[in-house]
Amino acid sequence: MSAISTPQVGTRYGMKGPRAAEWLAQQGIAVPASPNSIASWSSAGGGRCLRLGNTEFLIEYDGGFSPPAQPAHDGAWLLLRSDASLLLDDATWPHALAQVCSFDFRRFHDEPDRVVMTLLAGISVTLVREPRAGNTHLALRLWCDASYETYLQHCLQHLARPDPSPGEPR
Residues that bind another protein (CB under 8 A): 14, 16-17, 55, 74, 77, 79-83, 98-104, 106, 121-123, 145-151, 155, 164-170
| Identity of the residue, 72 or 133, whose beta carbon is nearer to another protein in the bound complex | 72
Q: How far is the CB of 49 from another protein (least distance, A)?
A: 17
Please enumerate in sequence order all residues whose Cβ is within 8 A of that of 87, keeping only pairs 6 or more positions apart, or say none. 4, 5, 6, 7, 130, 139, 140, 141
Determine the Cα–Cα distance for residues 128 and 38; give it in Å rounded to an integer: 8
| Identity of the residue, 49 or 143, whose beta carbon is nearer to another protein in the bound complex | 143
Q: How far is the CB of 22 from another protein (least distance, A)?
A: 15
Q: How far is the CB of 158 from another protein (least distance, A)?
A: 9
Q: How far is the CB of 160 from another protein (least distance, A)?
A: 15
Compute the CA torsion angle 5, 63, 132, 31 (nearest 10 deg).
120
Residue type, 75: G
Count of residues for the chain? 170
| Identity of the residue, 95 or 132, whose beta carbon is nearer to another protein in the bound complex | 95
| Identity of the residue, 43 or 168, whose beta carbon is nearer to another protein in the bound complex | 168
Q: How far is the CB of 165 from another protein (least distance, A)?
A: 6
Do 146 and 78 form a contact (C-beta atoms < 8 A)? no
Count of other CB atoms within 10 angstroms of residue 154: 11
| Identity of the residue, 102 or 136, whose beta carbon is nearer to another protein in the bound complex | 102
